[in-house]
A = this chain, B = another copy of it.
Amino acid sequence: MSMVKIEEISKRIFNIFIQAGVSPEDAAIMVDVLNDAQMKGIVTHGYVRVKKYVDCIKSGGIKPAGNPKIVWDSPSWAIADGNGGLGIVIAYKAAKLAIQKAKETGIGIINVRNSHHLGPVGYYAAMCADEGMYSMAMSNGDPLLAATGSREKNIGNNPFAYAVPAGKYDKILYDVAISMGSDMKIIQMGEENKKVPDGWMLDVDGRPSNTPADYLAGGVLLPFGGYKGYGLALMVESFAAVLSGAAVTHDVKAWNTTEGASGNVGHFIMALDLEKIGGREIYEKRIEGIIDEIKSSKLADGAEGIYYPGEKERMAKAKCLEYGVVEVLPSTLKFIKDSEEL
């Protein structure tokens, strides 16, 4: 990994999106969200995506001027059409809208269709938590997971997040995909001649496998917790995509491998305003108490510590902000430097 100044790389990424036809306002959102993921060490949703998003704009899969437009509205709940724009920009604006509705009525739920890859789904839940709200955020994606009992790619590795304000601990920020492990990690294990852990995948014949090559030869990812994870993937598909009127399962094309794929994925973002029920301080104190109690527990054998969801990422980000630098994969850095100089 190479160390770079956040300020410098932010400018470069901003310029790349401007050159690709994105408005300054939207390019700034892209930079903010990608910076957050990169600083938190969620490298898969950080700068490495810049090239993919730009490629997708060039191939017509993403319309750089696409912006969410409300197609159905009510005081606490709305459905928006993303018009095929950048998923990150659409989800960001949807979260802003959820916050606005929650401030007015206590609840804000925004469903979005015709959107694209939204990056780190936890970002949008965190936006709500930072406004003193309990929140959930979800998105569907192209099918990668087998349903329990199946050997086919049935459903997206649909990300799910929630966030709640936590006082001195900032917030609990849970952000997970439904698979045991990601396809990117399996490919990396293959390059490093490592075995895939138990429970991660089936081979093309539907047998459990620990061999990375079996994944590329038609294998399939498994959900975490067996049928309990499979059911969560279906929840996200239902709330984020079915409810929004977005594409589902095989109608969602893998945007990063299918030329010009619009994705047409759906999101669900919910915010509940604590201001309406006594103010955030009461609830933050209670969450602080829970975290205090959990963190003071005796450690399991071999454990280094006990963390609340999002804590490690928060620490990583704080360190980056302290020094003003962030680590970037050399290949990603090269693309960013080359692109900007064109």
Contacts and interface: CB of A to CB of B under 8 A. Distances in A.
A287 B148 CA distance: 17
Interface stretch (A5-13, A34-42, A235-243, A328-336): A235-243
Given A77-B107, A105-B74, A293 B229 contact: no
A298 interface: yes
Interface string A82-116: 00000000000000000000000111010000000
A109 B298 CA distance: 37
A227 B266 CA distance: 26
B293 A79 contact: no
A261 interface: no
Contacts of A176: 228, 231
A289 B248 contact: yes
Q: How many copies does the complex hold?
A: 2
Interface string A142-157: 0000111111101100
A332 B260 CA distance: 62
A225 B227 contact: no
Contacts of A75: 75-76, 105
Given A162-B235, A224-B228, A309-B227, A149 B299 contact: yes
Interface string A217-234: 000000011111111101
A332 B297 CA distance: 38
A323 interface: no
A229 B277 CA distance: 28
B290 A249 contact: yes
B134 A300 contact: no
A93 B135 CA distance: 25
A249 B149 contact: no
Interface in A151-185: 151-152, 154-155, 162, 164, 172, 174, 176, 180
A274 B16 CA distance: 42
A250 B152 CA distance: 43
A273 to B, nearest CB: 9
A300 B235 contact: no
A252 to B, nearest CB: 12
14 contacts: A72-B277, A74-B105, A77-B107, A107-B109, A148-B303, A150-B300, A150-B306, A152-B298, A154-B294, A174-B235, A208-B301, A242-B287, A243-B277, A243-B283
- Pick the 9 closest A-B CB pairs, nearest first: A224-B225, A206-B300, A149-B303, A225-B225, A150-B297, A174-B231, A149-B306, A152-B297, A231-B309
